[in-house]
Chain A
Amino acid sequence: QKEVEQNSGPLSVPEGAIASLNCTYSDRGSQSFFWYRQYSGKSPELIMSIYSNGDKEDGRFTAQLNKASQYVSLLIRDSQPSDSATYLCAVSPTGNQFYFGTGTSLTVIP
């Protein structure tokens, strides 16, 4: 079992809709959770971090964490074509170890 599981997609949503990306993790002791965006052929870019249960909002992005269910999600409101990318969920069980999921490919259709 991989440490971090994501639905690889592809996920397609129309422009202006809400895109919902999900991630589960296996290490119940994990403390830190991150969402990275990666455009094709480019390096991952951090877009959200979340450390405690609940929601964290940053502009059009909302991260949701449920440690009891070992589940973290990312909502993108008012999706734009420029949001089309692969979204990587990353989980850190300790301060210096990070495990990435395989990523969910998102396409926003104009």
Chain B
Amino acid sequence: AAGVIQSPRHLIKEKRETATLKCYPIPRHDTVYWYQQGPGQDPQFLISFYEKMQSDKGSIPDRFSAQQFSDYHSELNMSSLELGDSALYFCASSPTSHTGELFFGEGSRLTVL
């Protein structure tokens, strides 16, 4: 069965650089979530989209932005990167019919040097 696809799986950037993470949800899932998970931390909700519109915003820094495109894939853009942005970034998708059952991608590991 198709799963949530995230790219790149690993990314190394320098401070003050910009990074873009991509997420392709499971087909027919209409909701996409972005989470940030630091080492030993729980996943922190960043932002979510329903039917290509932003539906909820969590602890997403102003330096970050995200959008969902017409083909339902989503991108998380991170600018002016800081050392503290180093984390695993998970994308998850969910079908409206099973709200709350999140299916996570493998994650994108961002390292900021």
Interface residues on B, range: 20 to 34
CA distance A78 to B60 in the complex (A): 41
Judged by DSSP, the binding face of A is strand
> Which residues from B are CB-within-8-Å of A100?
42-43, 45
Interface residues on A, range: 20 to 34
CA distance A45 to B4 in the complex (A): 12
Interface string of B81-103 (1 = CB under 8 A from A): 00000000010000000011111
Using A49-B101, A96-B50 as known contacts, say yes or no to A88 and B31 having CB atoms under 8 A apart: no
Closest residue of chain B to A6 (Cβ to Cβ) is B42
A44 lies within 8 A of B100 (CB)? no
> Which residues from B are CB-within-8-Å of A42?
106-107
A46 within 8 A of partner (CB): yes
> Which residues from A are CB-within-8-Å of B56?
96-97
> Which one of A34, A46, A96, A103 contacts B42 once the chains associate, using CB atoms below 8 Å?
A103
On A, residues with C-beta under 8 Å from B are 32, 34, 36, 42-46, 49, 88, 90, 92, 95-103
